[in-house]
Amino acid sequence: MNDSAPLAILKSRFGYDSFWSPQEEIIANVLAGRDSLALMPTGGGKSLCYQLPALIFDGITLVISPLIALMKDQVDALNSNGIAARFINSTLPASAINGVQEQVRRGQVKILYVAPERLAVPGFRRFLSAVKLSLIAIDEAHCISEWGHDFRPDYRNLRQLRQDFPSVPVIALTATATPQVRDDIIVQLGLQQGQVFVSSFNRPNLSYSVLPKGDYWMRLLSLLRRHMHQSTIIYCFSRKETEDLAADLKAEGLSARPYHAGLDGETRRRTQEEFVRDRVPIIVATIAFGMGINKPDIRLVVHHSLPKSLEAYYQETGRAGRDGLPSECVLFFAYADKAKQDFFINQIEDASERRNAGLKLDKMLEFAQLPTCRRRFLLEYFGERWTEDNCGGCDVCLRSGEEFDATEIAQKILSAVIRTGERFGITHVIRVLRGSRDKRILQFGHRQLSVYGIARDYTRPQLRDIIGQLEARGLLMRSDGEYPTLAVAPSGREFLRERQTLALLRPTDPDVDRDTGAGRTRKTPAATEYDEGLFEELRALRRQLADARDVPPFAILWDVSLRHMAAVVPRSMEEFSGITGVGEVKLEQYGPRFLEVIRSYAEANDRPERTSVVQRSVGGQERERRQPRRGNTYDITREMLSQGLSISQIARQRGMVETTIIGHIERMADRGVALELGHLLPAEERLARIEEAFGVCGSAFFGPVWEFLGVEEFTYDELRLARAYLLQKGRLPD
């Protein structure tokens, strides 16, 4: 055995300073030669529980992993830490398999990954019996259970493996949270109760929110803009929905691709690859997408339709934030979506299965309409007790206690609905309330109404939110159909007549208050304030390094490490070695390149000064400051604009891409920051045409404006800049 202490190996090989619970106990149990079952959520750090012991044992550690597509990634990641790992699966030609087996026999390999079907190959069994096996790790152990969501018959080969090597310790790992499956794993593998390690299934870095589907498009766009360039999955119900939505997003200038089982294999493979390599940020998918994806930095998972169960929801949202950094899960909910799921449920032939599916769907519906903490509901569904009052990371908790006196605004909204004849949709009503100069307003003579412009002090998203709450309270009704209209319900009339008072939750505006939720994260240094501009540069370097090696960017370093760098700004190899995830090998390999980028960024920007770690206390819990410090990178852009520099000059000098700079401008314009934009505008006549197009089509979406103008002639960037400028000058319609 290698007698270095586990903690020393943790730093030197993996670059981490301390264990997460219950890693240390599991590792001790494994090293003592006993069996273990580790039940930990995604991102909980399961792999380390066998990878670290593997480095201490003399013989090899055999890892059974069901997903051939992911084996290479895992092996690459280990190799990049200087750990001798290999895999054997059907993608390798026989000669390569022989080569790997030869290396194993010569003792040159510490960790060997194989797919379960390999265990049935006689030659492989002979090979195994001739080598020194120290540990068997069974990843995704729930695949052995028929109760699980992805039962794999090949996993039954594992029982034979146990019998062949009765004295070799086994560690089984899974992120499946249902008790039934856990028990089944224990039985199937013959593991003993005392060695079950369970950690909480809470995913503290994920925030959960449910939004009304009635106006999902606007909210979706604003979510996506907020997560610009970050990996996002949008789950849809049908193949057609994925294609339509992806096309709509493209028309908005967003880079999105559909993904579903009906696409040919080559297209699917390419789409996955583009996503994993950070070339396409948004995937619009059916639930067919995700199994083969191990991307650690998915920051947003949207459910465009209701999932069929909380199990499915937990699993699909679970793909967000595997790296522990704050990530969002948003469900768009309309009660009408229930019908789509019911349709499938009704086709289940077996009566008890059908009933079961119905019950699961009911739980999902309950979750979507919950007046209390969503995290608590989710965890309690999986049999875990949750005692905190306020999780600080779901929409319900984040808004609780934030009521305001909504009497006046409710009166205004209801009056506007009545005055316009109860035959218009939410967009039109809001335009009236905010005094828009939209053509349709003029056409219907709504400018003359007494309610015209009486709610200018609320933003559009805020009004949408309040209208949603009025609906939920039963004061307003929305008709069904493709163009739903608003009407005042009897209790709404009563409210007006009797001059009742009303308290509502403070409305959210995704564009204004960004803090719509993110739970507490594990206290990694990287989850604190960091310089975003620097982070983007580090990302660009990572991508370059990854492309040169033909691996995905996360195989180089994870976002966690880059954020840590952008927060503490290391200036020497010594300081660089303190970055989380940087062990000895990565220090040598990448340290100089990253340090170089950090140095030139600091010179070009006169910054950043080192930031301190700020923790703030919410509900007695430590909570990371979610909002990264945006100030400096934005200020620099503003300053350079005021010097009359062009977008491309700024981008070049700052080593950023142009679209990032334009993004800065849009953000600042949205917030009313004064900017010097005059020198960036198109010729007067062109600008006038753009202004006219916004006047006709509204300014919320680019797609229609672009089409109106003729897509050939205008670029998105031109529209984006013009929009920011017109917004500043108050020349945009609503």
By CB under 6 A, tell whether 43 contacts ligand ADP. Answer: yes
Out of 9, 394, 451, 475, the only residue in the binding site for Zn ion (CB under 5 A) is: 394
Task: Give the nearest distance from C-beta 115 to ligand ADP in angstroms.
Answer: 17
Distances (CA, A) of 120 to 155, 157, 160, 161: 10, 7, 9, 10
Work out whether 47 is an interface residue with ligand ADP (CB under 6 A): yes
> Residue number with the shortest CB distance to ligand ADP?
45
What is the residue whose two structure tokens read 């396409």?
Answer: 280
Kindly state the number of chain residues that form the binding site for Zn ion, as judged by CB under 5 A: 5
Q: Which is nearer to ligand ADP, 358 or 525 (CB)?
A: 525
390 versus 528: smaller Cβ distance to ligand ADP: 528
> Is 210 a binder of Zn ion (CB under 5 A)?
no
Site string for ligand ADP, 168-207 (x = CB under 6 A): ----------------------------------------
Q: Give yes or no for residue 373 binding Zn ion (CB under 5 A).
A: yes
* Interface stretch with Zn ion, choices 164-172, 392-400, 470-478, 503-511 (CB under 5 A): 392-400
Pick the closer one to ligand ADP by CB: 176 or 728. Answer: 176
Q: Which one among 48, 138, 144, 246 touches ligand ADP, defined by CB under 6 A? A: 48
Given Zn ion, ligand ADP, none, residue 174, with its beta carbon under 5 to 8 Å by kind, binds: none
Contact track, ligand ADP, 1-20, x by CB under 6 A: ---------------x--xx
Which among 364, 399, 517, 531 has a CA at the least distance from the CA of 469? 399
Paired sense of beta strands 327-333 and 170-174, if any: unpaired
**Region near Zn ion per CB under 5 A, out of 3-11, 365-373, 423-431, 617-625:** 365-373
Q: Is 668 exposed, middle or buried (0-12, 13-18, 19+ CB in 10 A)?
A: buried
Q: How far is the CB of 391 from Zn ion (least distance, A)?
A: 3
Task: With beta carbons less than 8 A apart as the criterion, state whether 334 and 212 touch.
Answer: yes
Any contact of residue 391 with Zn ion (CB under 5 A)?
yes
* CA nearest neighbour of 288 among 261, 320, 308: 261
Q: Which is nearer to ligand ADP, 323 or 536 (CB)?
A: 323
Strand pairing class (282-285; 327-333)? unpaired
**Per-residue DSSP letters for 350-386?**
SHHHHHHHHHHHHHHHHHHT-SS-HHHHHHHHTT---
By CB under 6 A, residue 563 contacts ligand ADP: no
Output the smallest distance, CB 173 to ligand ADP, in A. Answer: 7
The nearest distance, CB 291 to ligand ADP, in angstroms, is: 14
How far apart are the C-alpha atoms of 94 and 86, rounded to whole Å? 15
H runs (alpha helix) in 559-630: 559-568, 573-576, 584-605
Instruction: Give all strands (DSSP E) within 260-376, no chain letters.
Output: 282-285, 298-303, 327-333
| Residue with smaller CB distance to ligand ADP, 45 or 461 | 45
CA distance 208 to 373: 10
732 and 699 in contact (C-beta within 8 Å)? yes
| Using rule CB under 6 A, residue 45 touches ligand ADP | yes
Query: Do 143 and 151 touch, CB atoms closer than 8 A?
Result: yes
Examine residue 165 and tell whether it contacts ligand ADP (CB under 6 A): no
- Cβ closest to Zn ion, residue 386 vs residue 708: 386
- Residue from 71, 397, 410, 545 touching Zn ion (CB under 5 A): that is 397
CA distance linking residue 624 with residue 522, whole number of Å: 9
| CA distance readout (Å), 49 to 17, 84, 136, 469, 593 | 15, 17, 12, 47, 31
Pick between residue 268 and residue 539 the one whose CB is nearest to ligand ADP: 539
Q: With contacts defined by CB under 6 A, how many residues of the chain interact with ligand ADP?
A: 16
Nearest distance from C-beta of residue 105 to Zn ion, angstroms: 54
Cβ closest to Zn ion, residue 183 vs residue 388:
388
Stretch that binds ligand ADP, among 39-47, 189-197, 282-290, 539-547 (CB under 6 A): 39-47
**Piece of the chain touching Zn ion by CB under 5 A; list 327-335, 383-391, 520-528, 592-600:** 383-391
Binding site partner of 322, from Zn ion, ligand ADP, none, Cβ cut-off 5-8 A by kind: ligand ADP
Contact 189, 138 (CB under 8 A): yes
Local structure of 403: helix, strand or coil: strand
Residue 42 partner contact from ligand ADP, Zn ion, none using kind-dependent CB cut-offs of 5 to 8 Å: ligand ADP
Residue 568 binding: pick among ligand ADP, Zn ion, none (C-beta 5-8 Å cut-off by kind):
none
Q: How far is the CB of 539 from ligand ADP (least distance, A)?
A: 17
Identify which of 415, 475, 205, 410 has the alpha carbon closest to the alpha carbon of residue 317: 205
Cβ pair 526, 563 in contact under 8 A:
yes
Per the CB < 8 A criterion, the answer to whether 330 and 209 are in contact is yes
- Rule CB under 5 A: choose which of 375, 626, 654, 664 binds Zn ion: 375
CA–chain centroid gap for 598, Å, is 27
- Between CA 295 and CA 308 the distance in angstroms is 24
Tell me which residues touch ligand ADP (CB under 6 A): 16, 19-20, 23, 40, 42-48, 322-323, 558, 580
Tell me which residues touch Zn ion (CB under 5 A): 373, 375, 391, 394, 397
